[in-house]
Copies of this chain bind each other. A is one copy, B any other.
Amino acid sequence: MARTPTGESVLARAVRVLDAFTAAEPGLTVGEVARRSGLHVATASRLVAEMVAHGLLERGPGREVRVGVRLWELGARASPTLSLRDAAMPFLEDVHAVVGHHTQLGVLDGDDVLFLERLSARDAVINYSRIAGRLPLPTSSSGVVLLAHAPRDLQERVLSGPLRPVTPAGFGAAAALRTALAEVRRSQAAVLAGHQHPDATGVAVPVRDGRSDVVAALSVIVPNDGRGRDLVPLLLAAARGISRALRRPDEPGS
């Protein structure tokens, strides 16, 4: 591949530029892009101009640039998660309509849960994850479900690393997390009260594909009033519906 004089490939730099943009700050000046991506301003400026020419970035109002619709399209159109998301969507809508709170679909990606979809509560308890948002596995109910069914070496790596709980209720000790993972495998659900926010409880269950492998977590974020566990049967039933739709992709929601 063509490389810049410093030996780093253009693609590597382009990925660093794209990584500078976040949901909280979708618009950045070239100077901000340079600082966040660790590139010289002149290099960032040339790269941004070429990325704009290909639609990977767009120039916004003022001096800002942002992620381009074209990049979104290239990533979304043939995404490996599209069939999962399509199969899940009718059931996410049903859960959302009945429960009335944030309803999410997350997958394992590295040491995080990556949220493919979130239907927001109009009257939300808290509001932390967005589409394509990430949370470290041990801090969220979806993450704990995915970790409980993850390969053993990933479990051990997470258990042996710093857990970094978000609230005092979160998992700070490996022993507590290990017990929780075993409980999730036994009960088929993670109910985490106050782990992300004192006022919220996360309730998550696994979604299995046609080979019974866990491929996603279905979750809701509800008020921290001690009634989160009551929603587990509803979520388990919806997760079974998603699994059925995954086995028969031509009959969504069947």
Contact = CB atoms under 8 A, between A and B. Distances in A.
Contacts of A131: 76-77, 82, 85
A254 B122 contact: yes
Interface stretch (A52-60, A155-163, A176-184): A52-60
B73 A72 contact: no
A46 B73 CA distance: 24
Interface residues of A, number: 65
Given A19-B74, A79-B69, A130-B82, A51 B11 contact: yes
Contacts of A50: 1, 9, 11
Contacts of A79: 26, 67, 69, 71-72
Interface in A1-34: 1-4, 9-12, 14-15, 18-19, 21-23, 25-26
A37 interface: no
Interface stretch (A90-98, A138-146, A196-204, A228-236): A90-98
A107 B69 contact: yes
A90 B120 contact: yes
* Residue of A77, A107, A124 ringed by the most chain B CB atoms within 10 A: A77
Interface of A: 1-4, 9-12, 14-15, 18-19, 21-23, 25-26, 46-47, 50-51, 54-56, 58, 60, 66-82, 85-86, 89-90, 93, 96-97, 107, 109, 114, 119-120, 122, 124, 130-134, 252-254
